[in-house]
Amino acid sequence: MGRAESRTGVWVVGAFGSLGTTTIAGVQAIVRGLVPPTGVVSEDPAFHGLGLPPLERLVFGGHEIRRDSLVESAQRITRENGSIEPSWTETLRPDLERTSARIVPGVVAGGGAAIEALGDGWCPAAERTARESVNRLVADIEAFQRESALDRVVVVNVASTEPQCETGEATQDLEILERHLDSAEPNSFRPGTLYAYAALQSRAAFVNFTASTSCLCPAIEQLARNRGVPYFGNDGKTGETLVKSGLAPLFRLRRLEVLSWIGYNVLGNRDGRVLAADENKKSKIGTKDAVVPSILGYPLRTHVGIDYVESLGDNKVAWDYVHFRGFLGHPMAMQFIWQGCDSILAAPLVIDLVRFADHALQRGESGPMRHLASYFKSPIHVTEHDLYRQFEWLLDYARSHAQQSR
Amino acid sequence: MGRAESRTGVWVVGAFGSLGTTTIAGVQAIVRGLVPPTGVVSEDPAFHGLGLPPLERLVFGGHEIRRDSLVESAQRITRENGSIEPSWTETLRPDLERTSARIVPGVVAGGGAAIEALGDGWCPAAERTARESVNRLVADIEAFQRESALDRVVVVNVASTEPQCETGEATQDLEILERHLDSAEPNSFRPGTLYAYAALQSRAAFVNFTASTSCLCPAIEQLARNRGVPYFGNDGKTGETLVKSGLAPLFRLRRLEVLSWIGYNVLGNRDGRVLAADENKKSKIGTKDAVVPSILGYPLRTHVGIDYVESLGDNKVAWDYVHFRGFLGHPMAMQFIWQGCDSILAAPLVIDLVRFADHALQRGESGPMRHLASYFKSPIHVTEHDLYRQFEWLLDYARSHAQQSR
Amino acid sequence: MGRAESRTGVWVVGAFGSLGTTTIAGVQAIVRGLVPPTGVVSEDPAFHGLGLPPLERLVFGGHEIRRDSLVESAQRITRENGSIEPSWTETLRPDLERTSARIVPGVVAGGGAAIEALGDGWCPAAERTARESVNRLVADIEAFQRESALDRVVVVNVASTEPQCETGEATQDLEILERHLDSAEPNSFRPGTLYAYAALQSRAAFVNFTASTSCLCPAIEQLARNRGVPYFGNDGKTGETLVKSGLAPLFRLRRLEVLSWIGYNVLGNRDGRVLAADENKKSKIGTKDAVVPSILGYPLRTHVGIDYVESLGDNKVAWDYVHFRGFLGHPMAMQFIWQGCDSILAAPLVIDLVRFADHALQRGESGPMRHLASYFKSPIHVTEHDLYRQFEWLLDYARSHAQQSR
Amino acid sequence: MGRAESRTGVWVVGAFGSLGTTTIAGVQAIVRGLVPPTGVVSEDPAFHGLGLPPLERLVFGGHEIRRDSLVESAQRITRENGSIEPSWTETLRPDLERTSARIVPGVVAGGGAAIEALGDGWCPAAERTARESVNRLVADIEAFQRESALDRVVVVNVASTEPQCETGEATQDLEILERHLDSAEPNSFRPGTLYAYAALQSRAAFVNFTASTSCLCPAIEQLARNRGVPYFGNDGKTGETLVKSGLAPLFRLRRLEVLSWIGYNVLGNRDGRVLAADENKKSKIGTKDAVVPSILGYPLRTHVGIDYVESLGDNKVAWDYVHFRGFLGHPMAMQFIWQGCDSILAAPLVIDLVRFADHALQRGESGPMRHLASYFKSPIHVTEHDLYRQFEWLLDYARSHAQQSR
């Protein structure tokens, strides 16, 4: 079977969420010719040589913790921020309904109070050990692959950010993790760990688009190595951090000395509500705060605030104040304001990541996909945060792979 | 005489202006250990291999259209924006007085109404032909080189922006220019053309830091080729345009479709007053407006406003509004506000340019110094406006020259 | 017939425009219970005692220069800025169609190039004198009143801003105006003059919501006095100027010395396109620029820019930079950014103005309605621009009239 | 002795701080004719009829917790934000030195960890009971009055914000307070309570410019009543809250429905450092957060953040984002950025408050001076937060008192 005819499964953890729905409905809208693929970087001619899976060859399914449907979620998005036109939902209704049928209950226990509050009893409560939960998740993914006749599956986590993962032994060592899975209750793990485990166990590529550090803990990375599959994360770089990673190089290049870089984010979607819980916020801020000092190469006062402002819905606003010193030590300032729609910014990145991960999977690559660093606030095993340098890696990857493909 | 002991002359056109004074006093303050060289890019280790002239080997002189002194100009800067500490002016008084003595009358006629209004009768009025004026300017530069025992001279134009240069035949063809110099009155040329002619005639390298297009017109470039000296311009990239050229690549990279990019600049220094004259503003806006479409690669609505707000003094504020479309065509926006001190932003670039030009001169390079594109809003013979790509050219230049020096 | 049962006609000049449509559809949406009357000041309990006409007693008709329909205009608004929900247009379709039938051709000749370009030949071209045109307009208004069985009519001009009115004799003296009407071609007048003349001739109250100074020129005011009807204008205070008139009092109150107050407006609707024509912009800027110095009581550097940015549609963005001096002469700054939807901001003001004008008409008041000053950028015969003081006048008016009504 | 010749003592708690020094040096600079009284509201002609004490009749002294001098403090201010010109400090040196000699050790124990860390051992540590401390403070004030031959004394607290006052019995009831003063250690009270007690005990008027709620607790108000002296507070309204209280009325007046009003403040002075301690921040945020809902008259999402950014020094920057709904429920937004110098904004208010308090004291008024509400973020016994209405009270007070004076 030729490449163009192969089918790639995209298993979305958090599929009924705003980002999950925007991604799935968005791909279908592009495929049906309703909109052009604005913001989809992998459509750039620079990547044509890679033979990435065409959008119409992507098949979606996923895990979710609440009973819902993509049609209703799309309509909610229309009401809240108008990013999905009502007529599209009507046109796509058959696609969305078909996909909704492939979205099944995930794991909610262990996600922390804020996430558990989102659950509605859809996820089975009777499992006695984490192993039972994981086996169910694996079975879900394998059924997806079999029933949809998929050549490969990429699992992408777009669920809400979990509280920081305690660095217990189980997350540090695969052997201990395996033992604990057998004996411990499901809620002694963060769901992120179980989803990641299940993905790798199914030999799916795994992408953690969330800030949850539970997903790519050392034990999980060991498992990925053992299974020989590619993976990457954490925390999609969509808004304020994206701008930071594109602007800080300017200050470095011109040797302007940044004294303080202070940023505040307000947003009102479900993700924001979860982040309003202090324990979940900490994960997020950790990944956002390291970017600027790393690019500039010296320590400075930074601050990243995130606050939940319900009226904004899926829109987010960020204000950054950069206090810097120029020639003769003279103080000056730059401010920026970023007003974007969270899911709209994130969805095309999810599409890119899935396609690049599929490419790696197909070529038998394994380990962390460092060439995807430009997509993440906190790319694992990567210290480079300069957006343009990170992106060069992706271009280099594309160039070298395209040559090999000839 | 070894390289470290060679002496480079820096001939500043517009030497008593805010930028001229900040550059000269700033270099002397760094040399005297009063401040570190913040913002001076050429101090970066990346350029150590080039053997650029150390700051203490730079000797300043220049042309000016008003009677003034560096001490008084420095004191005015202290009052207006506080960027020069009063105690520094006292410490540097002997240096500043010595340099002031090397600043002599230039050419004011032909500069347009706004510039001519700045003149105070210091410049000689009796010259009957432009050739007479040019010969005087050449004599000034040659006397500077001789009397200060300089190995090389770099002429840098930091005067106010002139009205756009009419593309008469004289600026298009060197032969015609030469004939006109002999016959036409001084004010039938923009002063910028005469300064540039004199610089090249003296075999000095020439850098046009202003937006005046009169300096590097085709006839002058012909002359530079004939004389075999290096030159470059136009219009130092210090503030809003700098940020644009560093931010627009982010939108390109992420395939976010910019619909409109609108910017307003307010500033209150002498340069601002000159720009308030519509004829002078046009030169400036032309160079600022091309940057974004060139980086993005498609046409879009842009607008650049410049208004004179006297109360701001040398401080400038720019507000940019970027209206863009993301995934599913959803509209979003980014704004930035840049609050900087014009001379403080520009002076270290002048220092860099002088040092790089001196390096080229010493090595016998000639023609346009394209590797300096990152310093200019409108780098001649260059279509690349992406700040980071432009800067790569400079790093490449440094790497290849450093190797040759070994 | 009791007051509650009386019917008020609202004759909208520019009825198919974004503001006209938003006003008409908005009133109908409120009447049908689809939305609450957010932003409608006249709904405030402070005005209950006045017995203003209830919204369901307002009957709309109007003049327009292009063939169109309220349903199509509403759908266009939905697409452009989403401020009218598609389902509302469906619910209101019968109301909108009934009202569309009462919208008839106005006058386009004499409106200047930008406005004339909007015309599509709907307005009759054969009229030889302005008197003929005026007679037609009068007949339209009187037919409206008769056919809809209206007790009173208020004419409100929400058309695009015309170029400034030349202060020819005809606009300065009613007698001369009358003579010219009889002899001159229609296009020797600005349409605004003809609409206002027709309104007053029909004994309708007249409100000029636009910046066009042609409407309430001295000759027209004479006519209003002769006819004994109330009138007011000019230029609804909706956005940047509203904020200015609410913020400048703070600086006055605290004796902070404002050095410069600079503002830039970008907007993309039809009104913006007309304003992009320099001759039309001048009218607008004139009314916006006087506000701050008048409130502060001293001259200062002000600037108001307006630029047309098509991609914004009916949304407008304003950035204001206020440079001020506090204790010890220390300079400080305040900036604000206003992001609003033009028609949404203006429509409730139009509703208020119509109701207050109707009240004045019913009570037999005549002359300029100074108590409505808070609604206008340039309230005629009023030098007070402080928003809060202006609004006190309206409250005083309401208090004194409510007492009289008891 | 006539009024013009009477002398008013101003006893400043926190006299060597940035605000204390700016106030004292500022008054002296105005008296010496170095600067005009910009920002001093009490200089407005509206208050001429009150016979407020002329600035040259104000004599300063105060309490402080660190050994320092006004000259050194002024020089620190010059370095940090340039708001005091170096030449002024030289001119005023004799005045400043004379005043410094009247600044004596206060009370540091009980101020919470952040404030205690500022102490340097200057304040006596050996006092066994709070009564001993209070008696010392009283003696200081009385000595000041006697030695400087003052007719009246006003005590104004400009020290750093203390942690919130626990509502123990002692602060609720004067009788219990008195008993505790006798028996408890000094650090069982917040210093604010002791300063206020001492002021009132000395029959000085008392103004609490800080957010510390310890000063005007119920027990202290009882004492003020008993002593028959005027007092007021809390928390001078200088920046973001000032703007809020001047802008929120605009939204109320136009019936625009504010959904969320979110503000962030960054500042870098000593006050900011103290506020960085969570316990101290709570006092401050409490007073800032009530303003908007109170003016609008309905609950809404508000948030006020304060973060310490050392590099800013005494400059503060605030960004506010106002999310509101207009006609048809359409969402819109306003943002403002306030960039001011804290002490420069506050000092003229302190001068006003002292003069108005002196006026009340001289006329034998007692109790809370509600007519000063416009000066405070959290005016006690006042629910009105609309800046303009509050200011009307002051104008009314001035009008009625001026009449009485005739």
CB–CB of D86 and B86 under 8 A?
yes
| Cβ(C381)–Cβ(C370) below 8 Å | yes
d(CA C222, CA A37): 61
Query: What are the tens digits of pLDDT across the range B16-58?
Result: 999 999 999 999 999 999 999 999 999 999 999 999 999 999 9
Average pLDDT rounded to a whole number, residues C334-355: 97
Q: pLDDT confidence of D278, banded at 50, 70, 90? A: confident
Average pLDDT rounded to a whole number, residues D36-60: 96
Task: Please say if the pLDDT value at position D26 is more than 80.
Answer: yes
Average pLDDT rounded to a whole number, residues B108-119: 85
Chain C residues closer than 8 Å to B333 by CB: 317
Average pLDDT rounded to a whole number, residues C271-277: 74
Fold (topology level) of D240-341: Dihydrodipicolinate Reductase; domain 2 (3.30.360)
Chain A residues closer than 8 Å to C90 by CB: none
Amino acid at C197: Y
Q: pLDDT confidence of C120, banded at 50, 70, 90? A: confident
d(CA A363, CA A359): 6
Average pLDDT rounded to a whole number, residues D308-313: 92
**pLDDT at B78 (0 to 100):** 92
Percentage of residues in chain C having pLDDT higher than 90: 79
Q: How many residues does chain A have?
A: 406
**pLDDT at D166 (0 to 100):** 65
Which residues on neighbouring strands pair with residue B323, listed in sequence order?
A: B260, B333
d(CA C365, CA C29): 31
d(CA A331, CA A319): 19
**pLDDT at D286 (0 to 100):** 65
Give the count of beta carbons closer than 10 Å to the beta carbon of residue D4: 9
Chain D residues closer than 8 Å to C253 by CB: 41, 246, 374, 387-388, 391
Instruction: Give every CB contact of residue D252 below 8 A, 6+ residues apart in sequence.
Output: D295, D296, D297, D386
**pLDDT at D9 (0 to 100):** 98
Name the residue with higher pLDDT: A270 or B157.
Answer: B157
Average pLDDT rounded to a whole number, residues A48-73: 96
CB–CB of D336 and C333 under 8 A?
no
Query: What are the tens digits of pLDDT across the range A126-175?
Result: 889 999 999 999 999 999 999 999 999 999 999 988 887 665 777 889 99
**Helices (DSSP H) in A70-173: which residue ranges?**
70-81, 86-100, 113-116, 130-147, 169-172
Across the interface, of B35, B255, B348, the residue whose CB is closest to A39 is B255
Place of tokens 């106002």: D322
CB–CB of C86 and A82 under 8 A?
no
Average pLDDT rounded to a whole number, residues B286-294: 81
* Least Cα separation, residue C133 to chain A (angstroms): 45
**pLDDT at C269 (0 to 100):** 80
Minimum mean pLDDT range among A260-264, C328-332, D276-280: D276-280
Neighbours of chain D (3+ CB pairs under 8 A): A, B, C
CB–CB of B305 and C310 under 8 A?
no
Percentage of residues in chain D having pLDDT higher than 70: 96
Tell me, rounded to whole angstroms, the distance of Cα D269 from its chain centroid.
16
- Residue D41: φ, ψ to 5°: -65, -35
Which residues on neighbouring strands pair with residue B324, listed in sequence order?
A: B258, B332
Q: pLDDT confidence of D403, banded at 50, 70, 90? A: low
Across the interface, of A262, A309, A333, the residue whose CB is closest to D262 is A309
User: Kind and range of the H or E element at B201?
Assistant: helix B191-201
Per-residue 3-state assignment (H helix, E strand, C coil) for A24-57: HHHHHHHHCCCCCCCCCHHHCHHHHHHCCCCHHH
Tokens representing C206 are: 């007249």
Sign of CA dihedral C119, C123, C127, C130: negative
Tokens representing C389 are: 């003081």
Task: Please say if the pLDDT value at position D170 is more than 50.
Answer: yes
Name the residue with higher pLDDT: A188 or B226.
Answer: B226
| Cβ(A322)–Cβ(A274) below 8 Å | no
Query: What are the tens digits of pLDDT across the range D211-251?
Result: 998 899 999 999 999 999 999 999 999 989 999 999 999 99
Write b or e for each residue in A213-251: b if 16 or more Cβ atoms lie within 10 A of its Cβ, otherwise e: bbbbbebbbbbbeebebbbbbbbbbbbbbbbbbbbbbbb
Tokens representing B66 are: 């008003």
Say if residue A135 is preceded by a cis peptide, omega within 30 of 0.
no
Q: Is B337 on the interface with D (CB under 8 A)?
A: yes
**pLDDT at B1 (0 to 100):** 37
Alpha-carbon distances, residue C177 vs B346, B374, C167, C205 (angstroms) = 60, 63, 12, 20
Task: Please say if the pLDDT value at position A4 is more than 80.
Answer: no
* Total-model pTM: 0.95
Average pLDDT rounded to a whole number, residues A340-350: 97
Chain B and chain C share a number of CB contacts under 8 A equal to 58
Q: pLDDT confidence of B168, banded at 50, 70, 90? A: confident
Which residues on neighbouring strands pair with residue C324, listed in sequence order?
A: C258, C332
CB–CB of C336 and D334 under 8 A?
yes
- Residue C336: φ, ψ to 5°: -140, 155
- Domain extents in chain B: 8-236+344-404, 240-341
ipTM of the shown complex: 0.94
| Cβ(C182)–Cβ(C129) below 8 Å | yes
Closest CA to D180 of D154, D219, D150, D232: D219
Alpha-carbon distances, residue D224 vs A398, B220, D207, D229 (angstroms) = 78, 83, 12, 6
Residues C127-130: contacts with CB under 8 Å, at least 24 apart: C127/C186, C128/C185, C129/C181, C129/C182, C129/C183, C129/C184, C129/C185, C129/C186, C130/C180, C130/C181, C130/C184, C130/C185, C130/C186, C130/C188, C130/C189, C130/C194
Q: How many residues does chain D have?
A: 406
Q: pLDDT confidence of C12, banded at 50, 70, 90? A: very high
Tokens representing B345 are: 């932003």
d(CA D162, CA D112): 7
Chain A residues closer than 8 Å to D317 by CB: 321, 333
Tokens representing A107 are: 């794991």
Task: Please say if the pLDDT value at position A6 is more than 70.
Answer: yes
- Residue A79: φ, ψ to 5°: -65, -40
d(CA B192, CA B209): 11
> Could you say which residues from 285 to 304 on chain B have a Cβ atom under 8 Å away from some Cβ of chain C?
301, 303
CB–CB of A41 and B338 under 8 A?
no
Instruction: Give every CB contact of residue B79 below 8 A, 6+ residues apart in sequence.
Output: none
d(CA C315, CA C269): 8
Q: Which CATH number is associated with domain D8-236+344-404?
A: 3.40.50.720
Q: Do domains A8-236+344-404 and A240-341 have the same CATH topology?
A: no
Instruction: Give every CB contact of residue B151 below 8 A, 6+ residues apart in sequence.
Output: B1, B6, B7, B8, B362
Closest CA to C6 of C357, C397, C359: C359
Task: Please say if the pLDDT value at position A403 is more than 80.
Answer: no
Q: pLDDT confidence of B403, banded at 50, 70, 90? A: low
**pLDDT at A2 (0 to 100):** 41
- Residue B284: φ, ψ to 5°: -70, -50
Closest CA to C162 of C14, C307, C274, C19: C274
Mutation pick from D327, D342, D345 vs chain C, by most beta carbons of C within 10 Å, is D327
Average pLDDT rounded to a whole number, residues D130-159: 97
CB–CB of B344 and A336 under 8 A?
no
d(CA B73, CA B17): 7
Q: Is B307 on the interface with C (CB under 8 A)?
A: yes
Which residues on neighbouring strands pair with residue C335, listed in sequence order?
A: C321, D337
CB–CB of A82 and C82 under 8 A?
yes
Which residues on neighbouring strands pair with residue B205, listed in sequence order?
A: B154
Average pLDDT rounded to a whole number, residues A35-51: 96
Instruction: Give every CB contact of residue B294 below 8 A, 6+ residues apart in sequence.
Output: B383, B384, B385
* Least Cα separation, residue C82 to chain A (angstroms): 8
Average pLDDT over chain C, rounded to an integer: 92
